């Protein structure tokens, strides 16, 4: 699949939204609350898989350009890797089925699981190996996941409503 000018524009818009949403954060521990997960869900819902991949790869590259190598050493950086995989998976799941609340919900849950499956082990490695802490599995889950579940549910509901309402107006939804 060759990327069109429209694809590149959409990739740039979603990449910028994801990147900027990372600056709107509430510090609650090693991983802050941001709107980035909302942008990841919307990226997956609105863009095709290849475009979703690139739209989430760009914020990672921007973080590295601005933060240098030490960006890799932050506990939350693993979630940025998870964003790439999650947006791509969500897009694949949504664009291979008819768009419905159920399909969006399944895709959002699957994408969120992928974000945590990649982000939590990375967070544990940075906190315990690099920073020399001794957090057990329960503490890692508390700091990196349990605290975020209510917000993740709210963001998923908002993303699903937006996707359902806008699906007829966005080219990526048209098969």
Q: How many helices (H) and strands (E) does the chain have?
A: 7, 0
Which residues, other chains included, contact 102 with Cβ-Cβ below 8 Å and sequence gap of 6+?
none
Q: Where are the domains of the chain?
A: 5-170
In order of 83, 160, 164, 173, the CA distances from 103 in angstroms are: 19, 9, 10, 13
For every one of its 175 residues, what pLDDT tens digit does the chain have, with 9 covering 90 and above? Answer: 688 999 999 999 999 999 999 999 999 888 899 999 999 999 999 999 999 999 999 999 999 999 898 999 999 999 999 999 999 999 999 987 777 889 999 999 999 999 999 999 999 999 999 999 999 999 999 999 999 999 999 999 999 999 988 877 765 544 3
* Per-residue confidence (pLDDT) for residue 99, from 0 to 100: 72
Structure tokens at 137: 């599995």
**DSSP 3-state of 26:** strand
User: Domain 5-170: which CATH class?
Assistant: mainly alpha
* Per-residue confidence (pLDDT) for residue 36, from 0 to 100: 97
Structure tokens at 152: 């993740």
* Per-residue confidence (pLDDT) for residue 174, from 0 to 100: 45
């Amino acid at each position: 699949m060759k990327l069109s000018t429209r694809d590149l524009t959409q990739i740039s818009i979603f990449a910028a939204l994801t990147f900027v949403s990372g600056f709107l954060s509430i510090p609650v521990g090693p991983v802050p609350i941001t709107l980035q997960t909302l942008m990841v869900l919307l990226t997956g819902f609105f863009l095709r898989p290849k475009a979703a991949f690139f739209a989430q790869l760009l914020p990672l590259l921007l973080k590295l350009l601005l933060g240098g190598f030490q960006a890799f050493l932050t506990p939350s950086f693993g979630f940025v890797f998870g964003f790439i995989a999650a947006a791509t998976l969500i897009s694949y799941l949504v664009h291979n089925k008819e768009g419905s609340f159920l399909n969006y919900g399944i895709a959002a849950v699957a994408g969120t699981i992928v974000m945590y499956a990649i982000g939590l082990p990375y967070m544990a490695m940075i906190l315990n190996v690099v920073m020399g802490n001794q957090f057990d599995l329960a503490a890692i889950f508390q700091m990196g996941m349990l605290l975020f579940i209510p917000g993740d549910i709210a963001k998923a509901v908002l993303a699903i409503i937006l996707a359902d309402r806008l699906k007829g107006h966005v080219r990526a939804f048209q098969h």
